Structure 1
Amino acid sequence: MSAAHVGPSTMEKSAISVLVDDLKHWLRSHMLAVSTTLTLIVVNLIVWLVYALLRVPKARRTGQPLSDFLSHSSSTLQHGGARQPGLIEQFIKLLISLFITVGPLQLIADSALVLLILCIAEPRLGRRRTIEASLISAIGGAAAGLLICFGIHQLQSHWTWFMRVPMSLNPVVLVVGALTAAGSFSNLLWRRRINLIGYTSLILLVLYTGNPGNYCALAAALIGQLVGRIWHGPITDRALAGRRSSYETRHLLGAISTVLALGPLVTASSKVKAGVFTPLGMFMGPGPAGTDHLSSCLKTNTAASCYAQYGLTRPVSATTFISLLVPTAVMLAVSWGIYHGRRVAAMTSMVLNGLTVVLALVYYLLVPITLGEGLAKAVRHGAIPSLLVIALPPLIFAYCIGHYLRYFPVRTKPSRLRIGSLVIVIGWFATAAFYLFCVTLSPGSFKPQPTFNMALAELPTRYLTNGVANRFRPRFSARTFTGLVINNSVGFIFWFIVLIVLLSWMRSSVLQNEDERLKANALVETGGESMTFMTTWEGNNYWFSSTGHSAIAYRVLHGIALTTTGPFGDPDEYISDLHEFWHYCTEHSWSPVFYSVHKPQRDELVAHGWTSLEVGSEMVVTPSTWETRGKKWQDIRTAINKAKKSNYHDELSTFNDAPWDVQSQIVAISEQWAELKALPEMKFTLGGLDELRDPRVALLYAIDAEGTVLGVTSWMPTYREGKVVGWTLDFMRHRTDAPNGIMEFLIARMAERLRDEGEVEFMSLSAAPLAGMNPERDNQGETTPQILQHALQLVADLMEPAYGFKSLFFFKKKFQPSEHPVYICYPDPAQLVQIGLAVVQAYLPDLKASQALDALKSLRPAKSEKDNADSTNHTSEKNKAKEASADKANGSTATAEPSPMIAAADAQKQPADLPAAQAAASTETSETN
């Protein structure tokens, strides 16, 4: 057992060394990504220095006017395709802009994107192909982008300002083709993610800005995907179970909704406003002050482009930009809800997009009549094409949402909908009253001074986004800062209220049905595994198979459906349950995570593309072969003999059947243990006093001749067809002044009782978390799980004094059990942060930040005291010292010492608790993830 008492510095050094090796391995496998990013940074710094020394004007740093390229293209066509001098040189200059950014902020953003993209592409394509894909797609994309811009110039020859737009690229264009090419060499999940996020971002920029460089980036992405498909050949990987049309449809609609939501913000922030959807972005976002410019254009301009030009190139003020943030946040909240299948988000989206269509009809068809210009003249000046550009996208999208409304199954409680709607109505009345009161009270803040009727007529425009509101002729405008605040605060406050209500409507919540709980409790008794009984505890929700003969317990946290072990009920359905539950989660836009499952289920999930991580070893004893002969059983025999000498014995009961005095002492012992913990008592798979009260849970406690309860353990049953086939250790506590070896005595007595009865197959000591893990076992060469397990090992070393991971492991090894690894399995490695948060919240739903900080502060000082005590006890050759060492290993498993003084003074009598250590392991697993 000497390995259990290795000094802290040695263990830390070993774990840190392993992590350093992991980092070196990662750097070797991503050498191209790291070196390219560093080169990009260095090159830009050098170029900026040269620019500064040569005093190059900023206008010449950002690129060449688009006219320089398009004029050459026109000459080329006029001369039968002959290449004109200077075109190649200018194209080379354009390619050089792939490496140069315009400023520090863009360099930071582009460097981060380049590093991320190449880290995704390099392991999939290899270095050579990554370089080839980047160069081919960048050069081809630049040429294709210029052709697209030439076509736009030919179609919109009256856009003279379009020719003055600076033509330049950025480093992202250089690598985006490698990213899309890598999609062909990725699994289905990553391929979907690359395509969805990549193309959504590029299409958003192209549609709402029309920047020539964005056309090049989109073309480069398409070329890269084509190159990747040619290299890879036909893609034959089968779709993941549970990923069906409803899932894909919601994600596609969510992406489109995100584009429509961010469009106005992108348009407002872009220097170039020449995209197909730029009019829609300007309509919903920023806009010119009033309709004077449109009216003037309609009177004097003979070109049929008044509506197309109106507002496209006007600068956007900071006030206007800020006013966009809350409406954009509302639309993004709706997009998030659509992505996750929320019915209320789909309905809200239909309402908001329908409102956009109505306002566009009013503006383009009714406003010209009110201006006195006549509808016919407005049509001649491009009102109908502009109306279609603005109204068709939201109209078509609203239709699609309505058509696929059945794909949004997640409903919100009716009571919450009613309360939220009432809050929105009250918010509207309150802000309207505020606006009318302020305008009436301070008419001098506006020009001309408004009357109450004028303020009432102007009220509806205060709730419209800036672009829409400013397109209607204002009856009065702000003259002072106070007037400006009054005009802008009304809509801001109202839409902020709407945002809060929407977020409350779309919170993840699953109603607990008591009938489902009773049904699940009955299924537990038909079949399950060693830790299945935990599914009967509070806080779980239940999914039932189509036959109703099996089920899975889970809870939804941070979009993660975290299961409590694996399926239970009919064993013949376990494998199909894994896939059906997976499909059920994807229908609800949750990501399923199977927690603490055993190898058969883990192997099935890994075979279908899941990732697994070993989080501990379950220790299992076979009662029929139980014996305590030999030197390795010395500690157990000593504990049993000591009980006889000290005149205490064990009693088997249930909590409800135990005498009232025994119940009271068990409660007192548990509270005493909790008071010594720096963290709150953990839950999820960790039973407490509430779980002891189930009449099916066995209670084995040690009591002396005076009736004092010295220690207590609880045992959860495992059933097969209504018969108990095993017992699993859960609750474990003892008094601080209990005799050494009390836990060894109780566990040994349970094994003896089960052996003598001869009716059960196993006795599980539950998992020994974050100890005894084998990073090489079952990982099949996967780098990520190995790195995570190495990180977990470091965490286990650091947290050893608080929860005693290794001490617990070696304590259980005294009983000579067989070890069975337990796993956490997840389909999406990109959601490790969410998974970690979900596990932490499941175990510590009431954890406060101050408690976590206090616990961390207490760890380091207590460690050296404790390990010194362990080392002293271990090296002693006397039987009494052996007892102390054994009990120390037991006691350290659940004790978070409040201070070094308590650790030193109470080293031999800390309360022990197996479940606490088990919880700590799970918590640290999530934090490391």
Structure 2
Amino acid sequence: MTTDDMTEQTTTQKTQTTNITNARRGDVKPPTRRIELGPLAQDAVDWMRRHPLTVIFAAMTLAINIGFALWCMATGSAYPPLFGRISYRRLAHGMFYAVPLALMLVGHPLRLLLDVPALMAAGSVAESRFGAAKTIWISLICSIGGLAAGMGVSVMVNGHLPIWHSMMRFGYVLGPLTLAVGPVMAASAFSSLMWRRRVRVVVYAVAAALVLYRGEPGDYCIMFAAAFGHLLGYLMSPSASGEEQATQTRMRITRIEARKMTGVLTAVCALGPLAALMSPVHRGPLSTLGLLMGPNRFDYTRLHECLAGAGTADCFLQYRVQRVSMPGGVIVSVLPLLMMLVVAYGLYRGRRLAAWLSIMLNACTVVMALLYCFIFPIVQSPDGIRSLIMHGAVRTAFSTATLPLACIVIVALTLRSFPLAIRWERLVVALSIVVAVFVMLCIVYVGTGLARPAEFSTAPSLAMLLADLPQRFVPIGFLNGLAPLFLPASAFTSAVYQGIGPVFWIVALMVTLWCFLDSSMQGERERHQASQLVEVDGESMSFMGTWSGNRYWFSESGRSVIAYRVVYGIALTVTGPFGDRGEWSRDLKDFAAFCAEHSWTPVFYSVHEAQRDELSAMGFTSLDVGTEMVVRPEQWQTRGRKWQDVRTAINKAKREGIVDVMCSFDEAPLGVQSQIIDISEQWAEEKSLPEMKFTLGGVDELIDPRVRLLYALDGDGIVQAVTSWLPTWRGGVIVGWTLDFMRHRPESPNGVMEFLIARMAERLRDEGAEFMSLSAAPLAGISVMDGVDGENGDADGGRSAVPDSGTVFLQHVLMSVADIIEPVYGFHSLFRFKRKFQPEEQGVYIAYPDAAKLPQIALAVVQSYLPDMKPADVARFVRALGQ
């Protein structure tokens, strides 16, 4: 035992003796044993302490609803209790005491499983932003406004329904979400642009689905309470400066965020019709499913009278009850919802097939809504328009078609956000299976009707069977105003009558899911081969050639490859060749010949000096497009005045408890992955131009397990900044790493990026890496290089002392592009930032053979960096060039 240990032990013993003596005297209390909680339990306790209002309100909601549910069971009365409901008649008589209870009660105790988590999520967001007192009065303002507007509009829309008179008599509850939705919408005005959009889109989508598919007065109140919260948040939030307002006006949604939000909206639209099951007010294609829970009885005698020619309103009710009484009809109504959920999953994963299926299915919904709810009832009803209006077909068609039309528009506008294709072989197999099953089922149905006509209520003819056939595959909600042509009268014909629809939808569902789970894409085989060759030999930026969006040219031996993309007839490479280094010189010539065969102009982008010289000897003209910053880890040190900023950043990070963590994306905890994605999405959406691609990676490029992540984590487990590093192989061995992804939170401490890069240099120094490249800032530091005349080149490789006019033109175009995007992406600032680390500066170049193609080359470079650029962006770009 050391002297320090003995001293510490002695001090501890003295302290314990003193505490015991003081406790005996009564001066101090003896120390109490503290109960240690697990990490999750401690987090829950901390969350409850920070959100007391939310906890109290959720507990009151649970206690009141469970208490009244038990009381109603004990007394045999209906739930919710009559005195806890409100109606227009009761409010007119001054019975306002029922309003608080109506806002706390839910329509069915099982709804607490959905409402209570929603209350806790919404309440915690609002309370964290406003505090308890301000959240209460915001909730009161929004709920009072929502009640007044929502109840008034619900009367105007649904006041003519017979069921509305019953609701006015017995009353209804509003639900606690009416109190919670306003504050969360108001709080969204104070969040980041990305989360502001997420909260508002999801809240409005859910409220719209409830209104259009269920239509209770409480749903209208939720919708208007959300609108009042939105308005109140806008009025309360601090006024943005002119520059911030311009940024918000030009705010763009990234591809990843677009497909996530589109997938969520599609899922909401798919689940919306299920709301009809929880309410006596039925809407949408699944409206008749609500009859399963209602008091209606199936009258076979009355149904046969209706089929024999009777045409009253009661007949339509019997048709609906009859269809619901058949399990096959119910299953056919549920399976399309599951199909839309599968499509929503495909959209969320970025599948192009899911986007087209979403458009197709929603278009079919709109067409069938018009046919079965509007056109066919007019043709069949002797009263024409009058009967149509009486049976609510117009209203049903409108409510059914509204959200599908909105989904079509949203998916069409974000179609480019779903780039992942399915292999053609798998698509052909899937389509063949679906078509074959459909044809087979149709043959079975028609054959059964013709072979056993006596086993139906009316002997069907071929025409009748073909006319009834589409109804076997359509959700029964679309058939409310359509009289059945015949009904099955035996077990066998009933099984065929009800079974062909579910079988078809089950097969289609399984085949669609099989397509979405395809792990490969078009060109994935070539990309996989290129990914293997990059591990043989390459340069500092060769790994960028393995990213999606590239095509691949392989040498005759297959041991080397060039990654490129064709834009405006320009075959623009992503750096030079990689793979077998001995083939690189030959690859440059063979690739140029390959492009000539396809009438493309080969343009080599981001090549280094050695390859530039070889291309110059081939008659290419070159221009530098950036400067790569290379650090030698074995020489890394931070001594001297030049390193003052880096030393300060390192020391500041240590004082604030920030640590660096290195791993791959898959190895990172799920919470860290989510934070990295959010940091990236927020960074990208605050730019006035679309997210740049080509030689600049995003979240999609982080997922490769060969890519290293180095992120800064503070003491609270918050990711403050993240960088990604791309490997470079030589002879099958990693010799260096190249910086690619650099993003941080807006509120992260200054110097956190310097800290991460410095820590990476220290790590690579310890590993013995040959180099650490900070990559090149695209289009920064441009200067005219060698103007080349292919026929009159000088002995030094075709260099000319005077640059040609074409090179100057391309230089000016790229400099104009750099000037336009500089305020957004700050490449010149990035260029200066990287110089803090005292790197070696190495030029990267663009080499092209034909000056006549310069306009196409300029557009190809811009389009490659900004693939999501729209015509308005192009017009702004062209105007800027002319200034």
Equivalent of 1:432, from 435, 438, 442? Answer: 442
Which residue pairs with 2:524 in the alignment? 512
Which residue pairs with 1:178 in the alignment? 183
Equivalent of 1:521, from 494, 510, 534? Answer: 534
Tell me the TM-score normalized by structure 1.
0.51
Which residue pairs with 1:696 in the alignment? 731
Which residue pairs with 2:342 in the alignment? 333
| 1:539 Cα deviation from its structure 2 partner | 12
Equivalent of 1:26, from 47, 65, 73? Answer: 47
Which residue pairs with 2:471 in the alignment? 461
| 1:517 Cα deviation from its structure 2 partner | 6.0
Q: Are 1:716 and 2:734 an aligned pair?
A: yes
Kindly tell me: are residues 583 and 490 of structure 1, through their superposed partners in 2, closer, same or farther at Cα, counting changes over 3 Å?
farther
Give the secondary structure class of the aligned counterpart of 1:98.
Answer: helix
> In 2, are the aligned partners of 1:243 and 1:583 still within 8 Å (CA)?
no
Structure 2 gap segments, 5+ residues each: 3-33, 552-562, 579-605, 609-624, 631-679, 739-746, 751-762, 770-883
The equivalences for 1:343-742 within 5 A come to 343-363=352-372, 367-368=376-377, 371=380, 373=382, 375=384, 385-386=394-395, 389=398, 393=402, 396-397=405-406, 400=409, 404=413, 407=416, 409-410=418-419, 411-436=421-446, 446-448=456-458, 455-469=465-479, 471-480=481-490, 482-507=492-517, 509-510=520-521, 511-512=523-524, 514=526, 518=530, 521=534, 525-527=538-540, 593=702, 611-612=719-720, 696-697=731-732, 716-718=734-736
Partners of 2:257 and 2:38 in 1: how far apart? 43
- Note the alpha carbon deviations across 1:74-116, whole angstroms, 9 max, x for none: xxxxxxxxxxxx42xx233122222233554223332222222
Give the secondary structure class of the aligned counterpart of 1:167.
Answer: coil
Kindly tell me: are residues 166 and 348 of structure 1, through their superposed partners in 2, closer, same or farther at Cα, counting changes over 3 Å?
same
In the alignment, residue 217 of structure 2 is paired with which amino acid?
A: P
> In 2, are the aligned partners of 1:365 and 1:375 still within 8 Å (CA)?
no
Kindly tell me: are residues 409 and 148 of structure 1, through their superposed partners in 2, closer, same or farther at Cα, counting changes over 3 Å?
closer
Which residue pairs with 1:108 in the alignment? 113
Which residue pairs with 2:796 in the alignment? none
In the alignment, residue 339 of structure 2 is paired with which amino acid?
A: V
Give the secondary structure class of the aligned counterpart of 2:734.
Answer: strand
Equivalent pairs, count:
588
> In 1, are the aligned partners of 2:456 and 2:487 still within 8 Å (CA)?
yes
- Note the alpha carbon deviations across 1:842-894, whole angstroms, 9 max, x for none: xxxxxxxxxxxxxxxxxxxxxxxxxxxxxxxxxxxxxxxxxxxxxxxxxxxxx
Which residue pairs with 2:205 in the alignment? 200
> In 1, are the aligned partners of 2:711 and 2:721 still within 8 Å (CA)?
no
Kindly tell me: are residues 381 and 126 of structure 1, through their superposed partners in 2, closer, same or farther at Cα, counting changes over 3 Å?
closer
Which residue pairs with 1:262 in the alignment? 271
In the alignment, residue 198 of structure 1 is paired with which amino acid?
A: V
The equivalences for 1:866-881 within 5 A come to none
Q: Are 1:97 and 2:97 an aligned pair?
A: no
Give the secondary structure class of the aligned counterpart of 2:422.
Answer: coil
> In 2, are the aligned partners of 1:279 and 1:312 still within 8 Å (CA)?
no
Give the secondary structure class of the aligned counterpart of 1:25.
Answer: helix
Partners of 2:163 and 2:78 in 1: how far apart? 29
- Note the alpha carbon deviations across 1:732-755, whole angstroms, 9 max, x for none: xxxxxxxxxxxxxxxxxxxxxxxx
Give the secondary structure class of the aligned counterpart of 2:156.
Answer: helix
> In 1, are the aligned partners of 2:346 and 2:516 still within 8 Å (CA)?
yes
- Note the alpha carbon deviations across 1:218-242, whole angstroms, 9 max, x for none: 1222222223333322357656999
Kindly tell me: are residues 526 and 483 of structure 1, through their superposed partners in 2, closer, same or farther at Cα, counting changes over 3 Å?
same
Partners of 1:483 and 1:225 in 2: how far apart? 55
Kindly tell me: are residues 817 and 25 of structure 1, through their superposed partners in 2, closer, same or farther at Cα, counting changes over 3 Å?
farther
What CA RMSD, in Å, does the superposition of the two structures yield over aligned residues? 6.0
Partners of 1:125 and 1:200 in 2: how far apart? 25
> In 1, are the aligned partners of 2:262 and 2:347 still within 8 Å (CA)?
yes
> In 1, are the aligned partners of 2:332 and 2:505 still within 8 Å (CA)?
no
> In 1, are the aligned partners of 2:391 and 2:481 still within 8 Å (CA)?
no
Give the secondary structure class of the aligned counterpart of 1:717.
Answer: strand
Partners of 1:311 and 1:345 in 2: how far apart? 35
Partners of 1:115 and 1:134 in 2: how far apart? 14
Q: Are 1:39 and 2:60 an aligned pair?
A: yes
- Note the alpha carbon deviations across 1:679-726, whole angstroms, 9 max, x for none: xxxxx99xxxxx9xx8714xxxxxxxxxxxxxxxxx631279xxxxxx
> In 2, are the aligned partners of 1:343 and 1:405 still within 8 Å (CA)?
no
Partners of 2:332 and 2:722 in 1: how far apart? 49
Partners of 2:176 and 2:361 in 1: how far apart? 37
- Note the alpha carbon deviations across 1:527-577, whole angstroms, 9 max, x for none: 37xxx98x99999999999985679x9xxxxxxxxxxxxx99999579999
> In 2, are the aligned partners of 1:527 and 1:568 still within 8 Å (CA)?
no
Which residue pairs with 1:227 in the alignment? 232
Partners of 1:590 and 1:112 in 2: how far apart? 30
In the alignment, residue 211 of structure 2 is paired with which amino acid?
A: V
> In 1, are the aligned partners of 2:138 and 2:182 still within 8 Å (CA)?
yes
Partners of 1:261 and 1:322 in 2: how far apart? 15
Kindly tell me: are residues 484 and 178 of structure 1, through their superposed partners in 2, closer, same or farther at Cα, counting changes over 3 Å?
farther
> In 2, are the aligned partners of 1:359 and 1:468 still within 8 Å (CA)?
yes
- Note the alpha carbon deviations across 1:768-804, whole angstroms, 9 max, x for none: xxxxxxxxxx9869xxxxxxxxxxxxxxxxxxxxxxx
| 1:494 Cα deviation from its structure 2 partner | 0.5
Kindly tell me: are residues 482 and 97 of structure 1, through their superposed partners in 2, closer, same or farther at Cα, counting changes over 3 Å?
farther
In the alignment, residue 475 of structure 1 is paired with which amino acid?
A: L
In the alignment, residue 735 of structure 2 is paired with which amino acid?
A: P
Point out the more displaced range, 423-432 or 29-38: 29-38
> In 2, are the aligned partners of 1:285 and 1:465 still within 8 Å (CA)?
no
Give the secondary structure class of the aligned counterpart of 2:96.
Answer: helix
Partners of 1:56 and 1:285 in 2: how far apart? 22
Partners of 2:120 and 2:86 in 1: how far apart? 30
> In 1, are the aligned partners of 2:83 and 2:98 still within 8 Å (CA)?
no
- Note the alpha carbon deviations across 1:434-458, whole angstroms, 9 max, x for none: 4345556766754345577754553
| 1:392 Cα deviation from its structure 2 partner | 5.6
Structure 1 gap segments, 5+ residues each: 3-12, 73-85, 554-566, 619-683, 686-690, 698-714, 721-777, 782-811, 819-929
| 1:183 Cα deviation from its structure 2 partner | 1.0
Percent of paired sites with the same residue: 23
Give the secondary structure class of the aligned counterpart of 1:324.
Answer: helix
Kindly tell me: are residues 460 and 43 of structure 1, through their superposed partners in 2, closer, same or farther at Cα, counting changes over 3 Å?
closer
Partners of 1:137 and 1:780 in 2: how far apart? 37
Give the secondary structure class of the aligned counterpart of 2:736.
Answer: strand
Q: Are 1:68 and 2:89 an aligned pair?
A: yes
| 1:246 Cα deviation from its structure 2 partner | 6.8
